[in-house]
Amino acid sequence: MFNEVQIPVIGIVENMSYFVCPDTGKKYEIFGKSKTEEIANQYNTELLGKIPIEPKVAEFSDLGIPVVLAKEDARSTQAFMEVAERLIKKLSEQ
């Protein structure tokens, strides 16, 4: 769709990509195996990152506080920061 309306796509971010059980540390792909990398290749773009499902994101969002500020050690914080770094790098190349 973006190509049809001539909006450039920098990359893809997969939200709610997986869940890590806090008790066991086991990773679950609740919505099935990811196909985001295939889609990124198909549309000649890149996967910027995968954001996990994490209850703290919803909890702090409801309070109006970004999880990256509220919980620096959260998996989602790390994922968001990695996406931001990749975005900055991509934008500085253009």
For the chain, strand residue ranges (E) read 12-14, 19-20, 27-28, 47-50
pLDDT at 94 over 80: no
Note the pTM of the prediction, 2 decimals. 0.84
In a domain, 2, yes or no: no
φ and ψ at residue 33, rounded to 5 degrees: -65, 135
Domain span at residue 28? 12-93
pLDDT tens digits for range 12-56: 999 999 999 989 999 999 999 999 999 999 988 999 999 999 998
> CB-side exposure of 74: number of CA atoms within 13 Å?
22
- Who contacts 62 (Cβ-Cβ below 8 Å, separation ≥6)? none
Q: Report the domain count for the chain.
A: 1
Contacts of 50 (CB under 8 A, 6+ apart): 13, 14, 17, 18, 34, 36, 79
Q: What is the pLDDT of residues 49-88, one digit of tens each?
A: 999 999 989 899 999 999 999 999 999 999 999 999 999 9
Residue 7 lies inside a defined structural domain of this protein: no
Whether 34 maps to a domain, the answer reads: yes
In a domain, 22, yes or no: yes
DSSP one-letter code for 38: H
Q: What distance in Å separates the CA atoms of residue 24 and residue 73, rounded to the nearest whole number?
A: 17
